[in-house]
C-alpha cells in the first residue's frame, strides 16, 4: 500500500516498527503536494528543507529506540490561523498580516511538536476563517479534490482538501460556525469540532473568541481520535480552556455505544435540503437502526434558524473587536501612502482586509454600537442561551443527535460569492453546536450521483468526545466510504 494510502494510525505503527521511516513519509507527502497542489491549492506555505531536517531527527530518535511522542514521524498540516514560530508564516489568508512572522507557537503547535509530528505546511482558509468555501483568501481559492470545479467548503477548506487528496493523513482546522465539519463533509473526510474549552485557543488567531475551537480533520475516525488525543487538554494560557481529564480516545474507540438513542430533529430536514443529501443521511441513520439504535424524533426550535441569525450577530461582533488590532501600526500590512495617522489606519485596513472581512467588521461594529447593543448583541446572547437549552433538553432524552452536516454537496466555485446570504446559510446545521459549545463531528456517509461526498453530522453533549468518536466508529465499521480516493489521486499515484 502506498505510504499516503495508510491511515495515520497505520503510519504511526509502521514508523514504530521501523517498516516506514519518517523521511519516507515526509518525502511522500512533499511529493504529493508537489504533484497535486498546483491543482488543489490546499497549502499556502511549506518548507521542504525544514520538513526533511525534522523527519531525519525523528528517524534518529526512532532508530535509537528512545521514547517518542504520539505522532512520531506522521506528517500533519496546520491551518494558517495557528501561530508557527519557526520558518512558516501565519497569515490567516489575509493581506493584512503580510510580512508578519509569529514570535511564538500556538499551544496546538507546541503539542504537535511535543508529539513528534512533522508539520508539513500551513493550509489555505477563508480570510480570518470568515467563509464557507475557502474562496475568501488572499492566496486564491482551494479546489475540492473530488471535483476541482467545486469548493472544498470552509473555512478550513485547505486542511480538508489536503487530507482528502491524501497529501497528508492529518490536519488541524478551526471551527467557529462549522468551519471544520462543513469542509469535512464537502471533501469526504472526518472533521470534528470538540467541546468549547477542550483544546486551547492560545495561538489560534481569533475570529469569534466565544465560538472558535480547534479540531482534527482526518480520513478515518481513528485518525481523528489520534490527532485530538495529541492536542486536547487544559492550558493555563487560555482562561476558557477547561481542566477536564482527557480520556484515551483510541483505547475505547471500537466499543459500540449500546443502547443508543439517536435524536433526529425535524429542523435538520427542512425544505432547502438537497434530496440526495437527505437520502444518504437517512440511509446512514438507517445503518444505526439496524445496529439496534432507537430513533427519537426531537425538537430543536432554536438550533437552526435562530442560531444562524444570532450567530451572525455574535460572531461579527467579536470579530470586529478581535480584528481591531490590525491597524498597520505595530506589525503586518501598512498602506505605503497616507496623509496622517487616521488616514494610515483607514488605508491599511481598507487595503489589507478582503470584502467578506470588511462586511463582518461593519456588521459587528454596528451591532455593538451605542443604542444598538441591547437590541442586537445582548438579545443574541439571550437567544444563545435558548439554543443551549434546546440541546440540554435533547440530551436528557437522547445520546446523540444526527442530521446532515451541509444542506448541499460541494457547490461550484464562485456560485455563492456574490450572494453572502446563501453562503451564510451553508452553516445552517452546524452553528448550533458552536452556539451551545457542544461536540460535533462530520463523517463521510456516501456520494452523490455526481461523485461528490456527503457528510453525516453527529452531535453529543459537552466533553463527550469519546462517546462521539465511538458512535462515529460504529458506522464507519459498517461502510467503506473512507477507502474511496478522488480521481486526481489515481492519475499518477
Partner 1 sequence: MSAPDLITTIGMEVHLHLATRTKMFCPCEVRYDAPPNSCVCPVCLGMPGVLPVMNGRAVELAVRMAIGLGCTIPAFAKWDRKHYYYPDLPKNYQISEYDEPLGLGGHLDVELDGETFRVGITRVHLEEDAGKLMHAEDGSNVSVVDLNRTGTPLLEVVSEPDIQSAAQARAYGEALRQLAVYLGVGHCNMQLGQMRFEPNISLKIGDGPDGSGGQPRYTPITEIKNLNSFRSVERACAFEIARHRDEFAADPAGYTLENQGKSTRGWNDDRGVSFLMRSKEEAHDYRYFPEPDLVPFVPAPEWVDKIRADMPETPSQKRYKLVTTYRLSPYEVDVLVSDPDLSDFSEEVLRNAQDSSTAAGLIMTEGLRFVNERDKPISKLFKPGDVAAVSDMIFSGEISRSVAPHVFVQLVETGKSAADIVRDENLAQTSDEGELERVVDEVIRENPGPAQDFAEGKDKAVGRLIGMAKQKTGGKANPNVVREILIRKLRG
Query: Looking at the annotation, which residues are catalytic?
Result: 79, 155, 179
Give 407's DSSP letter.
Answer: S
User: Among 157, 154, 175, 173, which Cα is nearest to 165's?
Assistant: 157
Cell digits of residue 198: 477542550
437 contributes a contact to partner 1 by CB under 8 A: no
Using CB under 8 A as the binding criterion, the count of chain residues that bind partner 1 stands at 44
Residues 136-165 close enough to bind partner 1 by CB under 8 A: none
The pair phi, psi for residue 259, each rounded to 5°, is: -70, 155
Cell digits of residue 377: 448583541
Measured from the CB atom, is 197 or 263 closer to partner 1?
197
270 contributes a contact to partner 1 by CB under 8 A: no
Measured from the CB atom, is 51 or 83 closer to partner 1?
83
Angle at 30 between CA 26 and CA 31, to 5 degrees: 115
Distance in angstroms (rounded) separating the CA atoms of residues 84 and 238: 17
350 contributes a contact to partner 1 by CB under 8 A: no
385 contributes a contact to partner 1 by CB under 8 A: no
Q: Residue 264: count other Cβ atoms within 10 Å of its Cβ.
A: 17
SS3 assignment, position 428: coil
The answer to whether 440 touches 181, Cβ cutoff 8 Å, is yes
Cell digits of residue 76: 500533519
Measured from the CB atom, is 210 or 270 closer to partner 1?
210
324 contributes a contact to partner 1 by CB under 8 A: yes
Distance in angstroms (rounded) separating the CA atoms of residues 186 and 133: 10
Measured from the CB atom, is 23 or 381 closer to partner 1?
381
Measured from the CB atom, is 114 or 236 closer to partner 1?
236
Residues 77-136 close enough to bind partner 1 by CB under 8 A: 81-83, 90, 92, 97, 100, 102-104, 106
492 contributes a contact to partner 1 by CB under 8 A: no
Measured from the CB atom, is 437 or 469 closer to partner 1?
437
Distance in angstroms (rounded) separating the CA atoms of residues 251 and 234: 21
Measured in residues, the chain has a length of 493
The answer to whether 429 touches 264, Cβ cutoff 8 Å, is no
327 contributes a contact to partner 1 by CB under 8 A: yes
Measured from the CB atom, is 290 or 330 closer to partner 1?
330
**For partner 1, which stretch binds (CB under 8 A), given 72-80, 156-164, 314-322, 426-434?**
314-322
240 contributes a contact to partner 1 by CB under 8 A: yes
Binding mask 360-379 for partner 1 (x = CB under 8 A): -----x--xxx--x---x--
Task: Tell me how far, at minimum, the Cβ of 330 lies from partner 1, in Å.
Answer: 6
Which of 325, 385, 389, 477 binds partner 1 (CB under 8 A)? It is 325
Distance in angstroms (rounded) separating the CA atoms of residues 364 and 366: 5
Helix segments in 44-151, DSSP class H: 48-64, 107-114
CA 292 from centroid of its chain's CA atoms: 31
**For partner 1, which stretch binds (CB under 8 A), given 15-23, 238-246, 439-447, 451-459?**
238-246
Give 194's DSSP letter.
Answer: P
345 contributes a contact to partner 1 by CB under 8 A: yes
206 contributes a contact to partner 1 by CB under 8 A: yes
238 contributes a contact to partner 1 by CB under 8 A: yes
SS3 assignment, position 355: helix
Distance in angstroms (rounded) separating the CA atoms of residues 347 and 329: 12
Q: How far is CA 301 from CA 1, 71, 306, 396, 490, in A?
A: 48, 42, 8, 16, 45
Parallel/antiparallel/unpaired status of strands 190-193 and 439-447: antiparallel
Task: Tell me how far, at minimum, the Cβ of 19 lies from partner 1, in Å.
Answer: 38
Task: Tell me how far, at minimum, the Cβ of 394 lies from partner 1, in Å.
Answer: 25
**For partner 1, which stretch binds (CB under 8 A), given 27-35, 204-212, 413-421, 479-487?**
204-212
Measured from the CB atom, is 7 or 322 closer to partner 1?
322
Q: Which residues are at the interface with partner 1 (CB under 8 A)?
A: 81-83, 90, 92, 97, 100, 102-104, 106, 201-206, 208-210, 236-240, 317-318, 320-321, 324-327, 329-331, 341, 345, 365, 368-370, 373, 377
Amino acid at each position: 500500500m502506498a505510504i499516503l494510502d495508510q491511515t495515520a494510525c497505520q503510519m504511526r505503527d509502521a514508523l514504530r516498527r521501523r517498516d516506514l521511516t519518517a523521511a519516507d513519509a515526509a518525502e511522500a507527502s512533499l511529493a504529493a503536494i508537489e504533484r497535486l497542489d498546483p491543482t488543489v491549492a490546499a497549502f499556502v506555505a511549506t518548507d521542504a528543507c525544514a520538513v526533511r531536517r525534522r523527519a531525519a531527527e525523528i528517524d534518529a530518535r526512532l532508530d535509537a529506540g528512545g521514547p517518542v511522542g504520539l505522532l512520531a514521524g506522521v506528517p500533519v498540516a496546520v491551518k494558517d490561523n495557528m501561530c508557527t514560530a519557526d520558518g512558516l508564516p501565519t497569515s490567516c489568508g489575509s493581506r493584512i498580516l503580510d510580512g508578519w512572522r509569529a514570535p511564538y507557537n500556538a499551544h496546538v503547535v507546541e503539542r504537535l511538536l511535543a508529539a513528534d509530528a512533522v508539520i508539513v505546511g500551513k493550509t489555505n482558509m477563508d480570510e480570518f476563517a470568515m467563509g464557507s468555501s475557502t474562496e475568501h483568501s488572499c492566496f486564491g481559492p482551494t479546489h475540492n479534490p473530488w471535483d476541482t470545479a467545486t469548493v472544498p467548503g470552509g473555512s478550513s477548506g485547505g486542511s480538508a482538501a489536503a487530507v482528502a487528496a491524501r497529501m497528508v493523513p492529518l490536519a488541524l482546522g478551526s471551527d467557529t460556525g462549522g468551519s471544520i465539519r462543513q469542509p469535512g463533509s464537502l471533501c469526504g473526510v472526518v472533521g470534528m469540532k470538540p467541546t468549547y474549552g477542550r483544546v486551547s485557543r492560545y495561538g489560534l488567531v481569533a475570529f469569534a473568541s466565544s465560538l472558535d475551537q480547534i479540531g482534527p480533520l482526518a480520513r478515518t475516525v481513528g485518525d481523528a481520535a489520534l490527532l485530538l488525543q495529541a492536542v486536547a487538554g487544559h492550558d493555563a494560557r487560555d482562561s476558557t480552556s477547561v481542566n477536564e481529564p482527557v480520556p484515551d480516545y483510541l483505547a475505547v474507540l471500537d466499543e459500540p455505544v449500546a443502547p443508543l438513542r439517536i435524536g433526529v430533529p425535524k429542523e435538520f430536514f427542512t425544505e432547502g435540503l438537497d434530496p440526495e443529501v437527505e437520502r444518504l443521511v437517512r440511509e446512514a441513520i438507517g445503518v444505526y437502526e439496524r445496529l439496534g439504535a432507537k430513533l427519537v424524533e426531537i425538537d430543536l426550535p432554536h438550533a437552526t434558524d435562530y442560531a444562524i441569525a444570532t450567530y451572525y450577530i455574535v460572531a461579527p461582533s467579536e470579530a470586529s473587536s478581535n480584528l481591531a488590532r490590525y491597524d498597520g501600526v505595530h506589525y503586518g500590512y501598512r498602506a505605503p501612502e497616507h496623509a496622517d495617522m487616521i488616514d494610515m489606519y483607514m488605508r491599511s485596513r481598507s487595503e489589507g482586509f478582503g470584502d467578506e472581512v470588511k462586511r463582518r467588521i461593519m456588521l459587528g461594529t454596528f451591532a455593538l454600537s451605542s443604542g444598538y447593543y441591547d437590541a442586537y448583541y445582548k438579545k443574541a446572547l439571550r437567544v444563545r442561551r435558548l439554543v443551549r437549552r434546546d440541546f440540554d433538553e435533547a440530551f436528557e432524552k437522547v445520546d446523540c443527535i444526527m442530521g446532515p452536516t451541509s444542506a448541499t454537496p460541494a457547490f461550484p466555485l464562485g456560485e455563492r460569492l456574490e450572494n453572502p446570504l446563501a453562503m451564510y446559510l451553508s452553516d445552517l446545521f452546524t452553528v448550533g453546536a458552536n452556539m451551545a459549545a457542544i461536540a460535533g463531528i462530520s463523517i463521510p456517509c456516501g456520494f452523490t450521483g455526481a461523485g461528490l461526498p456527503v457528510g453525516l453530522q453527529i452531535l453529543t453533549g459537552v466533553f463527550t468526545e469519546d462517546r462521539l468518536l465511538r458512535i462515529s466508529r460504529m458506522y464507519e465499521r459498517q461502510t467503506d466510504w473512507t477507502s474511496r480516493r478522488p480521481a486526481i489521486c489515481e492519475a499518477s499515484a
